[in-house]
Amino acid sequence: QVQLVESGGGLVQAGGSLRLSCAASGSISNIGILGWYRQAPGKQREYIARISSGGLTSYADSVKGRFTISRDNAKNTVYLQMNSLKPEDTGVYYCNNRSPRYEGTDYWGQGTQVTVSS
């Protein structure tokens, strides 16, 4: 199994920046594609970004050009640099790990709150 712990959330004004971190631990061989999702109040959880073990990235259109995902494989940590934040970015941000060994197996962190004031 893999455990994920997010950190770095907080309160920021519109136009500001935050950097989220997610540390993975447990079975190293079960760490694969890492990603970020968020859930705004009253809405479904949505995909934000993902990064492969080799560093290939993809982003949701809503954050493209503003957010940057990266990872440090030596530390088993994934990051999300968020710039030019908007009030609609407010929500709980979750770290996700997709198992490279078992199809359909995903691990989730507990989430970290991000609040962007207007």
Mean pLDDT, to the nearest integer, of 10-16? 98
DSSP, collapsed to helix, strand or coil, labels residue 70 as strand
Does position 89 have pLDDT exceeding 90, yes or no?
yes
> What was the pLDDT predicted at 65?
98
**CB-CB neighbours of 64 under 10 Å:** 10
Q: What is the residue type of 104?
A: G
> What was the pLDDT predicted at 71?
97
Task: Give strand pairing partners of 35.
Answer: 50, 96
The single-letter DSSP state of residue 102 is S
> What was the pLDDT predicted at 1?
87
Residue 48, token pair as written in the block: 């934000």
The sign of the CA dihedral 68, 47, 26, 3 is positive
Taking only the tens place, the pLDDT of each residue in 26-68 is 998 899 999 999 999 999 999 999 999 999 999 999 999 999 9
